[in-house]
């Protein structure tokens, strides 16, 4: 057991559970999908119900995937896409700092997920358990992991914004 492996485990689990909890809250907390859908409609992500379900499902899947260290670059890409869309639709007009509803938190979550994709999920992960010593494992960390997380994440986020985001007009 090394501090490096334990450190990666702690980071993966905290990031993953945080993101999964965010998705769980969209499904089962406060306003549930209906309330989340209304909010998505109000910020220009239409149809709101579709985006509420996609966001909640992606947050849960990406969070659980990262926490478990399963095919790590793919959940990391989910973090990038989610945080890009959140930063662009909600936070970009508020500046950088989270205390002013800025995009600082979005950047930290996405960057941490990409960093994990680059380093690999570590010894205490399903990637290591299932794929160490196979031809799949090299794709799950290093430059491959980093590029997969960035390219898929940016393509997903930009694609979603280009296809669906229609900011509300100011009165």
The residue ranges of the chain whose pLDDT is under 70 are 171
- The confidence score (pLDDT) of residue 139 equals 94
pLDDT, one tens digit per residue, over 42-66 is 999 999 999 999 999 999 999 999 9
Domain ranges of the chain: 3-164
- The confidence score (pLDDT) of residue 21 equals 97
**Angstrom distance (rounded) from CA 1 to CA 112:** 22
- The confidence score (pLDDT) of residue 159 equals 97
Hey, which bits of 34-154 come out as E strands? Answer: none
Q: Is the distance from CB of 46 to CB of 166 less than 8 angstroms?
A: yes
> In angstroms, how far is CA 108 from the centroid of its own chain?
11
Q: Is the distance from CB of 55 to CB of 43 less than 8 angstroms?
A: no
- The confidence score (pLDDT) of residue 81 equals 98
- The confidence score (pLDDT) of residue 30 equals 85
pTM of the full structure: 0.94
């Amino acid at each position: 057991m090394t501090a490096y492996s334990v450190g990666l485990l702690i980071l993966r689990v905290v990031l993953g559970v945080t993101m999964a909890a965010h998705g769980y809250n969209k499904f089962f907390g406060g306003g549930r999908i209906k309330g989340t859908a209304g909010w998505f409609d109000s910020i220009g992500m239409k149809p709101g119900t579709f985006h509420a379900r996609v966001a909640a499902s992606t947050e849960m899947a990406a969070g659980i995937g990262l926490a478990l260290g399963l095919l790590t670059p793919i959940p990391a890409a989910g973090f990038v896409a989610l945080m890009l869309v959140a930063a662009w639709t909600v936070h970009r007009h508020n500046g950088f700092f989270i205390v002013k509803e800025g995009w600082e938190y979005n950047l930290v979550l996405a960057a941490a997920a990409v960093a994990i994709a680059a380093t690999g999920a570590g010894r205490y992960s399903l990637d290591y358990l299932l794929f160490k010593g196979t031809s799949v494992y090299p794709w799950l960390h290093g430059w491959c992991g980093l590029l997969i997380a960035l390219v898929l994440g940016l393509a997903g986020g930009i694609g979603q914004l280009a296809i669906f985001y229609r900011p509300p007009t100011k009165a």
